[in-house]
Amino acid sequence: MEVFFRRMLNHKKLIVFIFLVFSILCIFFSRQVKVNYNINDYLPEDSPSTQAINVMEDEFEGGIPNARVMISNVTVAEALDYKEKLLDINGVSNVIWLNDSVNIRKPLIIQDSEIIESYYKDNNALYTVTIDEKNRVESVNSIRDLIGRDNAMTGSAVNDAVATEATVNEISRIVKIAIPLLFLILIITTTSWFEPVILLTTIGVAILLNSGSNLMFGTVSFITNGAGNILQLAISLDYSVFLLHRFEEFRKQGLSAEEAMLQALYKSIGSILSSGITTIIGFAALILMRFKIGPDLGLSLAKGIGFSILTVFTLLPVLVLLTYKVFEKTRHRPLLPEFNKFGILVRKIMIPMVIIFCIVVVPAYLAQTHNSFYYGSEHIFDKSTQLGKDTEKINDIFGKANTMVLMVPRGDTANEKNLSDDLKDITEVNNIISYVDNVGAEVPYEYLDENTLENFVSKKYSRMVLKVETQYEGEKAFKVVKEIRKTAEDYYPNEWYLAGESVSTYDLKDTITDDNIRVNLIAIIAIFLVLLLTFRSLAIPIILVLGIETAIWINLSISYFSNSILFYLAYLIVGSIQLGSTVDYAILMTNRYLEFRSGLVKQEAIQQTISSVTVSILTSGTALVIVGYLLAYITSHGVLQELGLLIGRGTLMSMAIVFFVLPGLLYLLDTFIERTTIGVKFFRKE
């Protein structure tokens, strides 16, 4: 490797030119990447709800109703006029209102009051609207322009449209705040005013390469778009910091700049590569999720860390050597202490901390397995947002409701009528729009014009639109989904399809719950094997994985003890992110401990290790904490908020374990480590 690094440093300008060209290309490519904000689009192709949606798209013009629009202070005539205006909006494929269920030419007072009040109540008109996926942002904005801020709209299409616009602006704000804060951290933790510029430039190039190369996927999820770049920045910062700190150590020994860089590259490649590979594996484990947001985020982040490692070993050394005179001229005295006293403190308290660690491991693990979760998109925006207020306003007047679409083989209208009657016996089903309900089972298809018929019947299927009084998710909603599926199965075994927000969320719950154990177990095993090969030790992988996994359990158990309801998607992803990103700190500390232990007794080795790695770990850890909490408190998207909070809090937990518990474990298991590690011989006093 030393020969390779020497040859590389002989072509500094060429390397800078290559990265510059690819960075410019990737700026253009990144703007072509599309973003998907619909969680349900990432369900496996073989899930029942996905199959139902595919069948409906093939058979019928209109999709699943995905929005509720309420207009207040209108007469029936005015409400009908608004319905036509809604239908005229580009991207709105269908609008269902009172006149689709009852004959409004007859006096409403003599008709079914329950049906009427589900559409028109106290001069408020409630429309069930279907908005095409390709035009959601434009269509939702047009609906808002039509109805104004005083009226209300809600639903999954509105969620996606609001998320699309809000997240882009919020991520831009996060970057604008994060970059100056990270710059400040780097100024404090380095010894040159110019060093942060080089560090952030190197990572910025890696982020550009990753963002541009996402074009190979065509579309990325909102999580990848919203959190991917900023997480890459925070997670990969430590690789650059580790290398530069090693470079400074060799410079202090009197080596020339180029020789010091060569030695730094040679000496740090093992720890940086092992850290990088474990991080990549942590993210790559997400690829094995059946829920396709996992592969989407996992591939992008794993690729991003790969680019970060590439730039750290190629671009960063070149930039440092090309600008080293500027480094020298902008030197400042260290703004942080040597941390010798911190090393002494850790040595004094590490055994009590290990005892506390042993006490909390089991309760933390058990608590995090009993968290409560949101699975879908219903709770993404809270009541403080316009969407949250609109949802509450509609629910207060018309109650909670959602729409499901059931498709059964066409032709047997008598069977359809019996099915409809049984579905109405389900307490939460308060209205059904179908051929047999709105036209009549006894009326032949030939009696209807083509435009009217196609709303109910396709070439193969009859469609029933069920209005259900439940939220989109929760125990009650999922119970209704199971009851409807069972009823349909009784009449049309293996021939029916059920679609809708609640149905997709129910399948989503099953899919990502199954993913959890498999993904985490694979990540743990893979990282364990990498550590086993890297350290050639049996004890060290056990210690490091147990330490970081316990930090993850403590992080997630806090939500349980505080009675917080988590988004399962954030819960599922954060384990891989926290494990992959913070195990680096444990690897760094263990590597330095092994180095110091070869020439020092274990008490002194612990103290020297803490003193030497604290700045590096604080730099990277603080960056990740800042990014996590910025994501949590600036974005209005519930899943990204939750993910940011868990990442920020989890990083603090991991840093606490690494600083205060890991030294005690290394100290207590010193002999076990020596005996189970190939090629290690610890110093012993004569």
Does 62 reside within a domain?
Answer: yes
Tokens of 369: 């397995």
Residues 151 and 67 in one domain: yes
Instruction: For residue 604, give the H/E element and its range.
Output: helix 602-634
Give the type of residue at 265. L
Q: Secondary structure of the chain: what % helix, strand, coil (to 5)?
A: 70, 10, 20
Query: Are residues 398 and 118 in contact, defined by beta-carbon separation less than 8 angstroms?
Result: yes
Question: Domain span at residue 574?
Answer: 338-370+536-686
pLDDT digits (tens, 9 = 90+) for 640-682: 888 899 999 999 999 999 999 999 999 999 999 999 999 888 8
CATH number at residue 563: 1.20.1640.10
Over residues 368-395, the mean pLDDT reads 83
| 68: Cα separation from own chain's centroid | 27
Q: Give CA–CA dist 593/599, Å, rounded.
A: 10
Residues 621 and 665 in one domain: yes
CATH number at residue 445: 3.30.70
pLDDT of 686 above 60 = no
Give the type of residue at 677. T
User: Would you tell me how many other CB atoms lie within 10 Å of the CB of residue 200?
Assistant: 18
Instruction: For residue 303, give the H/E element and its range.
Output: helix 293-313
Q: Which of 2, 641, 632 is nearest to 317 (CA)?
A: 2
In terms of Cβ atoms closer than 10 Å to its own Cβ (0-12, 13-18, 19+), residue 341 is exposed
Does 116 reside within a domain?
Answer: yes
Residues 272 and 324 in one domain: yes
Does 155 reside within a domain?
Answer: yes
Instruction: Find which of 43-47, 257-261, 543-547 is predicted with most confidence, using mean pLDDT.
Output: 543-547
Q: Above pLDDT 70, what percent of the chain?
A: 99
The DSSP bridge pattern shows strands 565-567 and 372-374 to be parallel
Helix, strand, or coil (residue 603) = helix
Q: How confident is the model at residue 307 (pLDDT cuts 50, 70, 90)?
A: very high
Residues 685 and 541 in one domain: yes
The residue among 506, 521, 544 that closes a domain is: 506
Residues 313 and 228 in one domain: yes
Report the number of distinct structural domains present in the chain.
Answer: 4
Query: Are residues 320 and 261 in contact, defined by beta-carbon separation less than 8 angstroms?
Result: yes
Does 566 reside within a domain?
Answer: yes
Does 270 reside within a domain?
Answer: yes
Does 375 reside within a domain?
Answer: no
Q: How confident is the model at residue 132 (pLDDT cuts 50, 70, 90)?
A: confident
Does 51 reside within a domain?
Answer: no
685 vs 209, higher pLDDT: 209
Q: Which stretch of 147-156, 230-239, 541-550, 671-680 has the lowest confidence by average pLDDT?
A: 230-239
Please name the residues in contact with 60: beta carbons below 8 A apart, sequence gap of 6 or more: 454, 458, 461, 463
pLDDT digits (tens, 9 = 90+) for 558-580: 999 999 888 887 887 788 778 87
Helix, strand, or coil (residue 126) = strand
pLDDT digits (tens, 9 = 90+) for 194-206: 888 998 999 999 9
pLDDT digits (tens, 9 = 90+) for 2-13: 678 888 888 889
pLDDT of 209 above 90 = yes
pLDDT digits (tens, 9 = 90+) for 597-624: 999 999 999 999 999 889 888 888 898 8
Q: Above pLDDT 90, what percent of the chain?
A: 35
Residues 294 and 217 in one domain: yes
Residues 560 and 672 in one domain: yes
pLDDT at 14: 92
Over residues 631-635, the mean pLDDT reads 87
Residues 1 and 108 in one domain: no
What is the largest distance, in Å, between two alpha-carbon atoms of the chain? 105
Residues 685 and 547 in one domain: yes
pLDDT digits (tens, 9 = 90+) for 519-529: 888 888 888 98
Residues 501 and 403 in one domain: yes
pLDDT at 446: 77
pLDDT at 62: 64
pLDDT digits (tens, 9 = 90+) for 240-278: 887 888 888 888 888 888 888 988 888 888 778 887 888
Residues 86 and 151 in one domain: yes
Residues 489 and 544 in one domain: no
pLDDT at 25: 95
pLDDT at 104: 77
Query: Are residues 173 and 634 in contact, defined by beta-carbon separation less than 8 angstroms?
Result: yes
- Average of per-residue pLDDT values in the chain: 87
Helix, strand, or coil (residue 335) = coil
Does 475 reside within a domain?
Answer: yes
